[in-house]
Chains A and B, each alone.
Chain A
Amino acid sequence: MPMVLLNCDTDIPEREKHVYLKAAGEDTRDFLPLANASTIPGTLSERGCAFCGAKLVIGGVLKDTIQMIHGPIGCAYDTWHTKRYPSDDGKHFQMKYVWSTDMKESHIVFGGEKRLEKAMNEAFDEMPEIKRMIVYTTCPTALIGDDIPATVKRVTDKRPDVDIFVVECPGFAGVSQSKGHHVLNIGWIDHKVGTLEPEIKSKYTMNFIGDYNIQGDTQLLQQYWDRLGIQVISHFTGNANYDDLRGMHRAQLNVVNCARSAGYIANELKKRYGIPRLDIDSWGFNYMAEGIRKVCAFFGIEEKGEELIAEEYTKWKPKLDWYKERLQGAKMAIWTGGPRLWHWTKSVEDDLGVRVVAMSSKFGHEEDFEKVIARGQEGTYYIDDGNELEFFEIIDLIKPDVIFTGPRVGELVKKLHIPYVNGHGYHNGPYMGFEGFVNLARDMYNAVHNPLLSLAAEDIRGTTQVAFKEAAE
């Protein structure tokens, strides 16, 4: 089966290159959806902007860092507290506060550097215990050419105890949030890695890359590394401090979960410092066990790994199996950013008996589609940069029992009486690790078997009522 032109895409036939239905005997040499390409005019994309990829996904996770957003107020608000990444100190500084230079027309006309300098000083004065900051450009401040590094130098000259990182990645810099991941990764290794020596406390050290502590993922996995005696020098960037990430060059191993948002820095750490890159899947029982086995094999501590896996299986596997029995055969769609497609498609199939029937990626690259098509089922749709009308049509074609997606699309599909689970920020996470996958299974079970779904579909007004007419009719 070649690429698919959906009925809703008749007027934008370019979309055919982005939608694939896998058939028997085909592989990625035959068909691969076009990805990381500009959104086609006429399609209502679900994508975020490049600035959002840098701030919301990676930089904004740091628990001790002011996030100074140099731009109009909306850029700050729309990338604030829409993701749930707590911190283990109980302060959740990164979720409580938001900072902006609140650029207005006059600042655009006359330049915003003075305003930025004032805002940076104000922020440090208001929060004297905080000594670290990331400054982000946005579309308007990049267009008017404000010199951010020069402004930062003026501030750091007067405040020698602070350290500031600049991310020059306006929203228009790339086709999606993926560009922001890239810019932050490369900027960080160019300017910050190697500027601080970490304290080495174990003979086994690693960085854990591409995990953002969504509802405590990082904290859950940290329990495993502690039990194995492995020091995680840097979590990039879940539950991390700014200075933790300056010492990434001293780790013996880079363990990568999200290869899309953070594969770049793992590649550069290998190229510049000779640190090997080990990619694992942290979601799913089978995968998590495999990941632990690989990490332990690298360090030569296989027995410790087997003990840990046995303990976790004893504790959590019966609970997982309870849900598996009740989810067997359920049809699932995954409409998320990119990597969760290939992380989840086999893990829900193997661990829960669930069949993934459609997957859509907002910002995945062609590498991500190679991974997911290799792992995914025949008869499943693989979509790049899907739009709302395509989602409606795909739903009609595959009739999913549950959709893992974000709240925007989730609210949309709820109106069709299809349950959704938050595939980005989770419903009741964490979802990583053994315990986490039981949480995922529980949320999926509660969604699929929720009796409210059938009740909500019943129209008690009967047939005599005049249906409310849409304004557009």
Chain B
Amino acid sequence: MSSKIDALFNYVQERCLWQFFSRTWDRQENIDGILATATDLLAGQAPKLDTPMDRLFYADAKIMVSDLRARLPWLNETPPAEIRELIEGLKARLEEIAIAGSKNRELSHHLY
């Protein structure tokens, strides 16, 4: 499980600008929204597309899921319950590096 989460985490670190938005709340919003949509897509469920933000999360999640399926073939065989567990692990890692453990001194400034 840990090595699988490592693989997901390494992909996001290398490819995804959304993890490093300007402020903690932007980063948290992206992590929550994109990973929730990615979980739906990986589990074969229809994503929510009701609002502009839903469509934004879908745009990022769709490309991420497509890349992950190509790079990590074992993901295609993983059952939905395990996918949820993996994404939870990934979410914790991203929150740690991009928010809780970040040394960026501007992350919590109340203004942009």
Contacts from A to B (Cβ < 8 Å)? 27-29, 31-32, 36, 186, 252-253, 259, 263-264, 267-268, 271, 274-281, 290, 293-295, 297-298, 300, 346, 365-367, 370-371, 374-375
**What residues on B are CB-neighbors of A29 within 8 Å?**
96-97, 101-103
B76 proximal to A (CB < 8 A): no
B14–A370 touching, CB < 8 Å: no
CA distance A186 to B109 in the complex (A): 15
Residue of B nearest to A290 (CB): B63
Complex CA gap A252/B106 in Å reads 28
Chain A: which residue is nearest B33 at the CB level?
A: A276
Of A267, A274, A370, the most chain B CB neighbours within 10 A belong to A370
Q: Are A370 and B98 in contact (CB under 8 A)?
A: yes
Q: Would B59 and A298 count as touching, CB distance under 8 A?
A: yes
Question: In the docked arrangement, what's the CA distance between A253 and B55, Å?
Answer: 10
Residues of B within 8 A of A31 (CB): 103
Contact B59 A278 (CB under 8 A): yes
* Chain B residues with a Cβ closer than 8 Å to the other chain, count: 30
Bound-state CA distance A268–B112 (Å) is 7
Interchain CB contact under 8 A, B104 and A366: yes
State whether A371 and B112 are in contact (beta carbons under 8 Å apart), knowing that A263-B22, A274-B52, A366-B103 are contacts in the complex. no
Contacts between the two chains (Cβ within 8 Å), count: 90
Residues of B in contact with A (beta carbons under 8 Å apart): 13-15, 17-23, 26, 52-53, 55-56, 58-60, 62-63, 96-98, 101-106, 112
Residues of B near A294 (CB, < 8 A) are 59-60, 62-63
Contacting residues, chain B, for A264 (C-beta < 8 A): 22, 112
Known contacts A294-B59, A297-B59, then 16 further A-B pairs from the complex at CB < 8 Å, ordered by chain A residue: A29-B103, A259-B22, A263-B112, A264-B22, A276-B53, A277-B56, A278-B56, A278-B60, A279-B18, A280-B17, A297-B62, A297-B63, A367-B20, A370-B98, A370-B102, A374-B20
Does B104 lie within 8 Å of A267, measured CB to CB? no
Q: Which 9 A-B pairs have the closest CB atoms?
A: A276-B56, A29-B101, A297-B59, A32-B103, A279-B17, A366-B104, A298-B59, A374-B13, A267-B112
Could you list some 14 contacts between A and B, CB below 8 A? A27-B13, A29-B101, A31-B103, A36-B106, A186-B112, A253-B56, A263-B21, A276-B52, A277-B56, A278-B60, A297-B55, A298-B56, A366-B105, A374-B14
Cα(A36)–Cα(B106), bound, Å:
10
CA distance A263 to B19 in the complex (A): 14
The smallest beta-carbon distance between A460 and chain B, in angstroms, is 48
Q: Which of A268, A275, A295 contacts B52 (CB 8 A)?
A: A275
Given A290-B63, A293-B63, A365-B106, check contact A298 B58 (CB 8 Å).
yes
A122 CB to closest chain B CB (Å) equals 37
Q: Is the CB of A267 within 8 A of B63?
A: no
Q: A264-B112, A297-B58 are in contact. Are A366 and B106 (CB under 8 A)?
A: yes
- In the complex, what residues of A have CB within 8 A of residue B62's CB? 293-294, 297
Residues of B within 8 A of A298 (CB): 55-56, 58-59
